[in-house]
Amino acid sequence: MTTFSDLGLTPNLLKALDRLGFDKPTPIQAQAIPQVLAGRDLMGLAQTGTGKTAAFGLPLLNRILDIGHPPAPRTVRALILAPTRELVAQIADHLMLFTKGTPVKVQKVIGGASLHKQAEALARGADVLVATPGRLIDLLERRALTLDATGYLVLDEADQMLDMGFIHLLRQIARYLPHKRQTLMFSATMPKLIDEIAETYLRDPVKVAVNPPGKTADRIDQAVHFVNQGDKAKLLEDYLLKHPGEAALVFNRTKHGAEKLMKLLVSWGFSAGSIHGNKSQNNRERTLAAFRAGELDVLVATDVAARGIDIPLVRHVYNYDLPNVPDNYVHRIGRTARAGASGKAVAFCAPAEQDELKAIEKVTGQPLPVIGGTPYDGPVAKPAHAPRRPGQQKPQGARKARPQGDRPQGGKPQGDRPQGGKPQGAKPQGKPGQRGDGKPQGQRPAQPKVAASGNRPPRRQPR
Ligand code: AMP
């Protein structure tokens, strides 16, 4: 069995791994670390949760520790680019844990935080800079740093960066980088454009893959529940009440929809928060920290939280709206069943979302088992949690008004200064005039009573 010391890492890092309880390398670490230490470029096909942060972080830090003197002012030795602020923060946190007690300086720059403070910190130089592309460009244009001495470049979640329209920013950043450098690129999927990018950015890369693209984690128990758009909130409530106190991540396609749903859940007594592109960075970080710490049971999020985010507590992922980019389904459900735990993922499929469901099943390579509701064009499923039909009696204690579905608003990229508009594969959502288009169906809209994100009312008791 391979150990971390077999891989050639320095005693400083081995001590840190021991402290963190990393006993043995994960497959991607065992494959990638020796290659990166040997100076090779690398294309890693791996989803988050496979340990890829350490797979690129440890060998880079190892090489930087070997240098033995601090970086010059305003220079950066290794640049790591990631699509979302949350992912940048998470990568920087991990690297800081690995380098605790060493002189290695890890900095992060993200949108939504003080540009001035970031420029000040960079004036002293950084061994490793973790950044979202937009903020990095701002700082480069202000000459707050130079990438002339950057010998290492990591593109993490490259496929998401492309989906979010960052391709132009990446090209711009590449112009600031020296030609002679080591480049590592990680992607969870391998669309054709990633192949092309790899050709441009990498030189004779070693390829490592730990999960074929589109394969969802085996430990995730996946299912689809057919439900009209207007009944989704009630259905979500039913699921949440069945698993009291278990952390649930709910994905919504739009910022507005996520916020509205969060407020509704809070008004029903759930301890819920939301993160999406309309929230300030501070707010996003606070909410994520509260969810990580188990202070919130439910996090409603847009696809900003679909990738990279590592919250081992998440037991349930609800796809309240099906993603319009089918690969995002794989990323979303990958937020559960982490660190060896098992997890459940339920996709809520409204009549207008049948195409999205088909696209997801194509990507995952298998039909999702039906857990409730009636497939729109197939046999009647055994309804495990069938939504109430209009006119059907409400259970005792149910609230008066039922919530209305959120009408998808054509998913804008949620990240840091995206350019070039639409996510790949985006298309207009919803079919006006049909049931399931999110329009009220003869009921008054529910009025959420509590508005603030991250509010914690007393926990709702299961009925
Ligand atoms: P990542 O895919 O980099 O987001 O890592 C997923 C999770 O696995 C993180 O919580 C890491 O701290 C953890 N992890 C990574 N490598 C190891 C390892 N070799 N042993 C134990 N845990 C690990």
Q: What is the mean pLDDT of residues 298-312?
A: 80
In this structure, are residues 456 and 372 in contact, taking their beta carbons and an 8 Å threshold?
A: no
Query: 195 by DSSP, 3-state: which?
Result: helix
Q: HSE on the CB side for 12, CA within 13 Å?
A: 18
- List the Cα angle 83/85/89 in 5-degree steps: 115
CA of 29 to the centre of ligand 1 (A): 10
Tell me the pLDDT band of 335, cut-offs 50, 70 and 90: confident
Q: What are residue 274's DSSP bridge partners?
A: 300
Test site for ligand 1: of 26, 58, 338, most ligand atoms within 8 A of the Cβ: 26
Residue among 249, 248, 257 nearest 229 (CA): 257
CA distance 57 to 37: 11
CA distance 52 to 73: 29
Give pLDDT, residue 24: 92
Residue type, position 292, single letter:
R
The tokens of 287 are what? Answer: 């909410």
CA distance 372 to 228: 12
Antiparallel, parallel or unpaired: β 206-209 and 42-45:
parallel
Rounded to two decimals, the pTM is: 0.65
Q: HSE on the CB side for 229, CA within 13 Å?
A: 27
pLDDT digits (tens, 9 = 90+) for 385-396: 434 333 333 333
Q: Which domains does the chain have, with CATH numbers?
A: 4-210 (3.40.50.300), 220-372 (3.40.50.300)
In this structure, are residues 71 and 146 in contact, taking their beta carbons and an 8 Å threshold?
A: no
Give pLDDT, residue 274: 95
Q: Burial of 245 by CB count in 10 Å (0-12 exposed, 13-18 middle, 19+ buried)?
A: exposed
HEC string for 334-347: CCCCCCCCCEEEEE
pLDDT digits (tens, 9 = 90+) for 391-411: 333 333 333 333 333 333 333
Q: What is the mean pLDDT of residues 82-97?
A: 93
Where is pLDDT greater, at 170 or 429? 170
DSSP 8-state assignment for residue 16: H
Test site for ligand 1: of 1, 17, 22, 47, most ligand atoms within 8 A of the Cβ: 22
Q: Burial of 164 by CB count in 10 Å (0-12 exposed, 13-18 middle, 19+ buried)?
A: buried
CB distance 26 to ligand 1 below 6 Å: yes
Query: 353 by DSSP, 3-state: which?
Result: helix
CB distance 281 to ligand 1 below 6 Å: no
CB distance 311 to ligand 1 below 6 Å: no
Which residue owns the Cα nearest ligand 1 atom 14?
Answer: 51
Residue 89: pLDDT over 70: yes
Tell me the Cα Rg of the chain.
Answer: 23
Give pLDDT, residue 138: 96
DSSP 8-state assignment for residue 32: H
| Percent of the chain whose predicted confidence (pLDDT) is above 90 | 57
